[in-house]
Structure 1
Amino acid sequence: MSTDLGSIRDGETAPEFSAEQRAKAAKKAWLWSNIFVISLFALIFFGGLLLSLYLHQPKPPPKPGPTPPIVLPPIDDGLGPVPTAEIQRAVLSLAKVSVSVEAATLETKIPELKASFDALRDLLSTTLKDESGRRIAANEQHLAQFYVMQLLDKGVTPEELQSVLRQAVADNRTESDQMVVNSIVIELANACEQAHNWTVEYVKRRQTLDELIRQSKSNAPASITLAEAVQSRSQSLVEKKNRQIQHALNAESQRLSEERTLVEDELKSQDTAVASLRRQIRSLESGGQPANSPAQSDAPHQASLEEYQRDLPRIRSLLQPFITPGYMQPKSADEFAYAITKTPMSHSALTRSGALAAEPQGLITLFFIGGSKSATQNNDRPLGGFPRMNAITELSNSEDISARVSEAQLLLQIHGQRLVDNGLLAP
């Protein structure tokens, strides 16, 4: 218990503490002294610890710079370089292992292919002979579907792939050429792919045939088997194809024949014109009249039957405007008459018009009657090999036209009566 010194009056002495009070005060001072000492030591300890940690803190790593290339020292294993022959043998061995792997794969796929192949084959064989096949044959649409199935690619058989497998395995045992072994690997890989694809295809075809059999159950059975119906349809299609081919051949033959006839007619026309000119030249040289002069027109030479038959192809080509039935008939040298019925041109009308006169005017008249096709004249007869008349001057300007008209006139002159007798010309 403390005592306020200011409250002690002058002349008065301070009160004395008891022993207990002094002991408590000493103990309290000792406690504070120990706490101070402990705190001081703790401060020194932790300060030293922090200083030590700071001094021993690792430095931050430097910023990375460009990495220098790594140069490995040569490895010296004491074995030296590997010989090329050993490398080649190792590669060949790996290729042969690949052959063995592909062969094993193919060997597992062949039974699957055989199962699907045999199932389709057996169903086809049965359907071609049994009642379900007769029901398919009874419906044209169902028969056509089955026939199309028959035309599909027959595909690969298990036996073919089995042969490929045996040959590949045998070659792999004896072959030492790297390229050949590689080709065997490729061949087996292709065979594996074929086996898978055709296995799937045979299954699809069998499903299609099953569906066709199901659809045809409502059909009444045909009187013939499906095999007979397929054979009949195949034969019918072959005959149809042959007829088409024959028709095409006939058309081409006809075209070539017509072209050949035109060429022959052209050559004969030129020969006739040349012969006519030669006759006129010989007649003039002998001091007589030209062969086509009016003096000879009264009594034209009448050809024999043999000559008529020889000239018949030319008659049918060059005299078509005269021998083809039509309504138009010549009335005069420059006028036409029209009949009620179609008949060949009248031989007597041609003679009266002067078209058969062996003189230039006769050729002009014949050219006009046979070759005129203007809209106002209504000439309904075909021209054939006779030239079309666009202008009268063509007769003197074109040797070809002149030759054909001259030949037509000659044919009418020497075969006129026989043409009438045979009905090719009207009287």
Structure 2
Amino acid sequence: MTVSIDIIDLAQISSDDRDRLLTRSAVPDESVRIQAAAIVKQVRDGGDAALRLLNERYGGGSPSGALAVSEAEIADAYAQASPELIAALEAAAGAVRSVHTQQLPKDQLIEPTPGVVVSRRWTPMRRVGVYVPGGGATYPSSLLMGAIPAQVAGVSEIVVVCPASSSGTVDAAVLAACHMLGITEVYATGGAQAIGALTYGTETIRRVDKIVGPGGMWVTAAKLAVYGTVGIDLPAGPSEAAVIVDATSDPAIAAADLLCQAEHGPDSIVMLVTDDPGTARAVLTEVDVQLARLDRQDIVRSALEDHGMVVIAPDRAEALAFTNEWAPEHVSILTESARTDAEEVTAAGSVFVGRWTPESAGDYATGANHVLPTGGLAGAYGPLSTEDFGSWRQVQELTREGLERLAPTIKTLADSEGLGAHAACVDVRLTTTLKEVTP
């Protein structure tokens, strides 16, 4: 059955229609946000008992099962894992660690004028919660993307939450990855209730400083509800990708990249962007061929027909400009001048350059982080990074000479704003008869 995908010609649509194409949000509907906030409040007020009840009601664990996964169970999952899985996890983890080690912030010391020193100093967080999707799915790669940057940053305590399956157990591959990383604090809970537990703590789970990791709309809504009480990474909406092609592109590769992101879920958003209608038709033909070979055909078809589109641009410059306006999570560039075109993509979570760079490489193996901004937020946010697991503080120190140099500026601006005490705290220092003490 041929997939039906909307085709939009940018030269033929109004500015209002263009705006509608570009408008989407990573923020769930108000009704979901209200319900998620209520779930979080139940956990805040009811602790473990509420958490168990909500796990039973919404999935993520059983009321009678232990919330904490034992170290023995974590170790056993690693022992039972196939050598191939362990090798793949180790390779992926090594790449993630290598990339994120290069992101470690370095303290800065600046002397803008003699006698004035301003420094920036970075400190890792103490305790971080990593949310790993679970239930009927398995996402050990998401654990690597959340936990390894935290370890590289120097976070001393990392706690993992993951929904249990219908049998009441956390996914074995996730547990094996936890063992490999030396993580022993794992809890069988998920959804909005897990976010509530990490934020406020329960009798079993101690609160954290920040929560990271992808999840569905309930997890996103709960994160937004607790933001300000605890740190979060960023709102995460459905997976999305733009694939940019021209007359030289291989239709089979372009189709594969579209299907790669569409299989994440029926709400995934995928877009083919091109200045060549003939290539667009060839890609759509190839989509039909490859879709027939996939296990998740129903999910992929729903994503393509409900949220997929082909965008025909009048030229390459407009194709790139439209992609930047859309600011997608993933951008795959399969044009003849892919590397040059990539320099023009300024709003994207992660960019994949050329025919040899599949989007799945970034999901699993390059070491780049796959926790990315969605919903058009790629123009304001970047991928999860090592720096996200700490905080900067400014430190300033002046000598008497330095203060004398700055005094006219300080006093003039303080007087202009009517803040006399600001000026006085300069005067009291410069007129004091006490011997200056050098620290």
Class of the TM-score when normalised by the shorter of the 2 chains: under 0.3
Q: Which has the larger radius of gyration?
A: 1
TM-score (normalizing by structure 1): 0.16
Q: Which has the higher contact order (CA 8 A, sep 6+)?
A: 2
TM-score (normalizing by structure 2): 0.15
